[in-house]
């Protein structure tokens, strides 16, 4: 009895356990389905959001309003939309999708460029600082002394690593002071030579690092511009293909439309003759009147004969009418076909202009990128050639002609003087040698001993106002007169030889100023006029 109860209890427990496991598995399945449904609903909502964003981008929404984390999914959706548009033959939608893809790529590249830190070594004239190079600190003194001893013994300076050079310089100074205090001048001189070479090596290493940084920057720029150039060429090819497809579809659409119109026109032309086009001649009409008259007169046999004749005439008239109708219709068709051809040609011309514009825009962009790549290559070549000589001297010194080119500063060139501003004066070699300003030039062994050309600025030309301001000179025999007075006197003597006046005092008078010269001319003119009146 007890065993039977235990069996019943065990069976009951086992049944309960099975029911619990069944309920548990059902619950787990329900939870799994619920999670899957939630996941699918989220995916559907995300897909709807992506589709809506793609639709808005195609409609003209700015790309900067799109979250950056959704850009990869948007690109995938655009690619799938592009494939569907190509499959369905929607050229306009395909062109808009292609434009959005290009704008998206440009936006991503701009975001990458914004995240790149600015290069502080862009200034070529900037001095090299120790912060530009890694410097090793807390170097043991024994290591520094070992390196200095090796350098003194004649080892190559390659053992002096760049981060250790500042510490080696400081240690060399300390050892030089120590040797000088001990009286070892020979050892101090050797270390001084090492010290000088280390200082020069430090600057050389820093310049080399600066050159390497510039080369790395230029190589990166060249790679970026080459990628841009390749993208521009691919985009140009794709956009031209899309444009050609669009123009071809427009032409095909118009051609199909015109073919349908022409087909309907031909059917109307080849169909039954319209009543308005049926024109009977007067002979046919008269014959029909005779037929009608004979029928009214009950002369049926004669009416039958006349009727046959009228039928023949009417058939001929209808044939002529159809011929004229077809002729007119053919003329109308030729006019319509010419109009259709003009419309198609207009589409081709517009498409060709648009194609040339697309091509010119991309060619301009490609040309700019090619020039930029050439510029970067030339700058890279100048870095390799013009920063350091083989002997370690700096080519970019202020006296170097290439410094103006590399620094972007053009040398100051004075404009040539005009003949009125410059008067060339030839001097003998003795006069040039006696000139104190030319002594240094003649004594220098690095200057050729050719006779230099010396230019002096000529005196500015006087105006009439300046001439009137000239002071009147005192009447003295030994006083020198100005060149203007001498010129006026020469003019006076020439005019005096041509004009004879009765008053010798006026002709013999010497004018010292331009004002007196004008008065003298007025008086002489008055005297000549009075003399002519007397002769009359």
Q: Is residue 93 part of a domain?
A: yes
Highest mean pLDDT among 314-318, 392-396, 485-489: 314-318
Output the six-digit token pair for 135. 């410097």
Q: What confidence score (pLDDT) does residue 408 get?
A: 39
Kindly tell me the sign of the dihedral angle through the C-alpha atoms of 290, 295, 298, 299.
positive
208 and 170 in a common domain: yes
- Predicted confidence (pLDDT) per residue in 266-284, tens digit: 888 888 878 777 777 787 7
Q: How far apart are CA 490 and CA 254, in angstroms?
A: 93
Which residues on adjacent β-strands are paired with residue 233?
none
Output the six-digit token pair for 511. 């004018």
205 and 83 in a common domain: no
Residues 348, 247 contacting (CB under 8 angstroms):
yes
- Predicted confidence (pLDDT) per residue in 364-387, tens digit: 999 999 999 999 888 888 877 765
Out of 78, 113, 148, pick the residue that ends a domain: 113
Q: How far apart are CA 100 and CA 77, in angstroms?
A: 12
374 and 249 in a common domain: yes
**CA trace torsion 190, 196, 198, 201 (10° rounding):** -140
Q: How far apart are CA 327 and CA 350, in angstroms?
A: 35
**Residue 322 CB-density burial (10 A; 0-12 exposed, 13-18 middle, 19+ buried):** middle
Q: Is residue 58 part of a domain?
A: yes
Which residues on adjacent β-strands are paired with residue 456?
423
73 and 11 in a common domain: yes
Q: What confidence score (pLDDT) does residue 352 get?
A: 92
Q: How far apart are CA 447 and CA 477, in angstroms?
A: 50
**Helix (H) and strand (E) counts for the chain?**
15, 2
pLDDT class for 116, splitting at 50, 70, 90? low
Q: Which domain holds residue 221?
A: 140-236
Q: What confidence score (pLDDT) does residue 10 get?
A: 59
Q: What is the DSSP letter of 429?
A: H
The C-alpha angle 46, 52, 54, rounded to 5 degrees, equals 105
Q: Which residue has the higher pLDDT, 381 or 447?
A: 381
SS3 state at 426? coil
Q: How far apart are CA 382 and CA 195, in angstroms?
A: 31
Out of 186, 219, 236, pick the residue that ends a domain: 236
Out of 220, 236, 252, pick the residue that ends a domain: 236
* pLDDT exceeds 70 at position 393: no
Query: What are all long-range contacts of 198-202, with beta carbons under 8 Å and residues at least 24 apart?
Result: 198/157, 198/160, 198/165, 198/168, 198/169, 198/172, 199/169, 200/392, 201/157, 201/160, 201/165, 202/162, 202/165, 202/166, 202/169
- Predicted confidence (pLDDT) per residue in 346-360, tens digit: 999 999 999 999 999
Three-state SS string across 31-49, please?
HHHHHHHHHHHHHHHHHHH
Which residues in 329-461 belong to E strands, given as ranges?
422-425, 454-457
Q: What is the DSSP letter of 448?
A: -
* Length of the chain as a residue count: 536
Q: What confidence score (pLDDT) does residue 452 get?
A: 44
Q: What confidence score (pLDDT) does residue 335 get?
A: 92
261 and 378 in a common domain: yes
Q: Is residue 128 part of a domain?
A: no
Q: Is residue 494 part of a domain?
A: no
Q: What confidence score (pLDDT) does residue 133 get?
A: 54
pLDDT class for 429, splitting at 50, 70, 90? very low
* pLDDT exceeds 70 at position 461: no
Q: Is residue 217 part of a domain?
A: yes
366 and 259 in a common domain: yes
| Residue whose entry in the numeric block shows the structure tokens 């020469």 | 490
Q: How far apart are CA 391 and CA 393, in angstroms?
A: 6
Kindly tell me the sign of the dihedral angle through the C-alpha atoms of 432, 438, 442, 448.
negative
Which residues in 444-513 belong to E strands, given as ranges?
454-457
305 and 264 in a common domain: yes
Which residues on adjacent β-strands are paired with residue 457?
422
Sequence-ordered list of residues with C-beta below 8 angstroms from that of 467, at least 6 positions apart, any chain: 484, 514
26 and 7 in a common domain: yes
Q: What confidence score (pLDDT) does residue 16 get?
A: 61
Residues 210, 225 contacting (CB under 8 angstroms):
no
The distance in angstroms from the start CA to the end CA of the chain is 187
363 and 306 in a common domain: yes
Q: What confidence score (pLDDT) does residue 321 get?
A: 81
Q: Which residue has the higher pLDDT, 128 or 57?
A: 57
Number of domains in the chain: 3
Q: What confidence score (pLDDT) does residue 329 get?
A: 86
365 and 327 in a common domain: yes
Q: Is residue 523 part of a domain?
A: no
Q: What is the DSSP letter of 388?
A: B
Q: Is residue 173 part of a domain?
A: yes
247 and 225 in a common domain: no
Sequence-ordered list of residues with C-beta below 8 angstroms from that of 18, at least 6 positions apart, any chain: none
Sequence-ordered list of residues with C-beta below 8 angstroms from that of 431, at least 6 positions apart, any chain: none
Task: Give the pTM.
Answer: 0.42
Q: How many CB atoms lie within 10 A of CB 426?
A: 8
pLDDT class for 407, splitting at 50, 70, 90? very low
108 and 36 in a common domain: yes
- Gyration radius of the chain over CA positions: 54
Q: Is residue 121 part of a domain?
A: no
């Amino acid at each position: 009895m007890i065993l039977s109860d235990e069996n019943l209890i065990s069976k009951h427990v086992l049944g309960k356990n099975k029911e619990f496991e069944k309920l548990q598995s059902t619950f787990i399945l329900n939870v799994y389905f619920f999670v899957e449904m939630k996941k699918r609903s989220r995916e559907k909502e995300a897909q709807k959001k992506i589709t809506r964003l793609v639709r808005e981008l195609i409609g003209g929404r700015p790309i900067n309003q799109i979250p950056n984390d959704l850009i990869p999914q948007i690109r995938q959706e655009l690619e799938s939309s592009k494939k569907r548009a190509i499959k369905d033959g929607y050229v306009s939608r395909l062109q808009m999708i292609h434009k959005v893809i290009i704008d998206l790529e440009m936006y991503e590249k701009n975001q990458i460029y914004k995240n790149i830190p600015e290069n502080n070594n862009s200034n070529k004239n900037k001095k090299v600082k120790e912060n530009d190079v890694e410097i090793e600190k807390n170097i043991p003194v024994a290591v520094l002394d070992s390196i200095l001893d090796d350098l003194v013994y004649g080892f190559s300076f390659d053992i002096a690593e760049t981060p250790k050079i500042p510490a080696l310089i400081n240690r060399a100074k300390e050892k030089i002071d120590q040797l000088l205090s001990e009286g070892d001048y020979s050892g101090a001189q050797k270390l001084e030579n090492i010290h000088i070479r280390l200082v020069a090596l430090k600057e050389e290493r820093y310049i080399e690092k600066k050159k390497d940084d510039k080369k790395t920057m230029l190589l990166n720029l060249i790679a970026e511009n080459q990628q841009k150039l390749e993208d521009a060429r691919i985009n140009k090819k794709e956009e031209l293909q899309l444009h050609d497809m669009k123009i071809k579809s427009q032409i095909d659409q118009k051609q199909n439309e015109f073919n349908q119109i022409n087909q309907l026109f031909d059917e109307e032309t080849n169909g039954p003759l319209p009543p308005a086009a049926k024109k009977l001649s007067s002979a046919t009409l008269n014959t029909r009147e005779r037929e009608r008259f004979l029928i009214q007169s009950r002369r049926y046999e004669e009416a039958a004969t006349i009727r046959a004749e009228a039928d023949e005439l009417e058939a001929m008239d209808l044939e002529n009418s159809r011929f004229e109708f077809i002729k007119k219709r053919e003329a109308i068709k030729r006019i319509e076909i010419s109009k259709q051809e003009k419309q198609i040609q207009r589409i081709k011309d517009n498409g060709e202009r648009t194609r040339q514009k697309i091509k010119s825009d991309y060619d301009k962009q490609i040309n700019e990128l090619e020039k930029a790549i050439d510029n970067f290559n030339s700058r890279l070549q100048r870095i390799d050639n013009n920063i350091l000589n083989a002997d370690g001297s700096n080519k970019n010194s202020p006296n170097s002609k290439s410094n103006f080119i590399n620094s972007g500063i053009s040398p100051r060139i004075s404009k040539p003087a005009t003949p009125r501003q410059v008067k060339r004066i030839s001097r003998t070699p003795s006069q040039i040698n006696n000139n104190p300003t030319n002594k240094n030039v003649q004594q220098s062994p690095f200057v050729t001993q050719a006779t230099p050309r010396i230019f002096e600025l000529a005196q500015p030309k006087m105006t009439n106002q300046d001439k009137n301001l000239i002071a009147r000179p005192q009447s003295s025999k030994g006083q020198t007169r100005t060149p203007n007075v001498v010129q006026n006197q020469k003019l006076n003597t020439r005019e005096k030889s041509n004009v004879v006046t009765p008053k010798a005092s006026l002709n013999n008078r010497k004018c010292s100023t331009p004002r007196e010269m004008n008065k003298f001319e007025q008086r002489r003119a008055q005297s000549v006029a009075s003399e002519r009146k007397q002769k009359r």
